Amino acid sequence: MSFFTQTKSIKLAITLLITAGFTSAISAEKYKLPVDKVQGAVSVMVLGSGGPTALAKRASASYLIFIDGKPRILMDAGGGSYKNLALSGVNIADLDIVLLSHLHIDHMGDLSAFVKGIFFHNRANRTQRSLPIRIFGPGENGVKFPPPNNNITQYPATDTYVSQLYHQQTGIERYLNIFAKAIKGGTFSWQTTNISAKLTDPVDTIVNKDGLVIKALAVFHGPVPALAYRIEYKGISIVYSGDTNSKSNNMITLSQNANMVIYDTAITDTLPNLYPSDVVFKALHTTPSRMGVVCATANPKTLLLSHLTPVTSVRTKEIKKVIRLNGYTGKIKVAKDLKVYNFSIKH
């Protein structure tokens, strides 16, 4: 074999080795479980980026927040999010905070599955929790049904809702009381806190412990008591809008200089009203133009488009353009189920 041929063969072998190594690295990354991608001080895992309409690749609204690599906070628990939890590889034995933005089924349909799941994840770990499950959500806003049922409020307070699910004598899903108690070794194992849903009330700090701060503020979602949340840890802040049309400036107040704002993206500015219900739907959710104004004013680093519907999921380029035209210059990303966003402390 000539020197030239030998050199050429060596180069080819090196190239093949490099290519194989590169391909293996790509394959390894591709087949990582979402939980294996969690790193840094704060991580956001998308368990549900959709809305009330069933979409093949989007569960209804749900986000799991990791603090120092541990899954601590669940923001909403829409239908399909529990299946995505299984696909994520996350063990939620230590999950202790649930933040409900409002009591629509596409935001809390899988709540009971998570409660039962915490029991089984502790059982798998051969552990027993020492902390209760803490559930936060909106209180009543006093809005009644139209006549003849105008003596009944449309939405219960969160504590009433949870009690109606799990109360040992009267709960619809009272059998889950056994699982919930077993999580904490036979003692009453959840705490429910109602948060004011009045738009005029100030920001409420609902958690402030060991550097973790969680704030809540009422947002407008028609007759529905609704909240947005801000999570702060080690100088990193994540804001979740829940569902709102952003008619007040409360989202501007809560989103100031956040690292990420997860925003309700259920409608566009331009689509016509094809059905009578479309008028109502548009009154409950944020247009891209209003979202652009809010984010241009509040200046978050990243805007994550979420609560996507059949209307908006196929029009994200148009939506981004409208947001830009209304002044927002930060990053815009489109939420995808099981995607992980990591945030680290900058030294």
The mean-pLDDT minimum among 1-5, 23-27, 29-33, 286-290 falls in 23-27
Q: Which residue reads 């080819």 in tokens? A: 12
**CA pair distance 119, 92, nearest whole angstrom:** 9
83 neighbors 59 (Cβ within 8 angstroms): yes
Kindly report the CATH number that applies to the domain delimited by 45-343: 3.60.15.10
**Cα separations in angstroms, 338 against 42, 108, 112, 142:** 16, 18, 20, 37
99 neighbors 137 (Cβ within 8 angstroms): yes
For residue 148, cis peptide bond before it (omega within 30 degrees of 0): yes
What average pLDDT does range 264-293 have in this prediction?
A: 86
Half-sphere exposure of 228 (CA within 13 A, CB side): 30
Residues 56-90 pLDDT 10s: 999 999 999 999 999 999 999 999 999 999 999 99
Instruction: Parse the chain into domains and list their residue ranges.
Output: 45-343
Please give the DSSP secondary-structure letter assigned to residue 275. Answer: S
263 neighbors 302 (Cβ within 8 angstroms): no
What is the predicted pLDDT for the residue at 279? 76
Q: Which residue reads 């566009």 in tokens? A: 268
Query: What are the residue ranges of helices labelled H in the chain?
Result: 3-30, 81-88, 105-108, 111-125, 158-166, 176-183, 250-255, 276-284, 288-298, 316-325
Amino acid identity for residue 223 in this structure: P
Residues with Cβ < 8 Å from 184, sequence gap 6 or more?
Answer: 128, 129, 130, 131, 132
- Looking at the whole model, is its pTM more than 0.85? yes
What is the predicted pLDDT for the residue at 130? 66
The mean-pLDDT minimum among 6-20, 103-117, 183-197, 205-219 falls in 6-20
**Cα separations in angstroms, 347 against 70, 121, 207, 341:** 22, 36, 26, 19
> Is the pLDDT score of 232 beyond 60?
yes
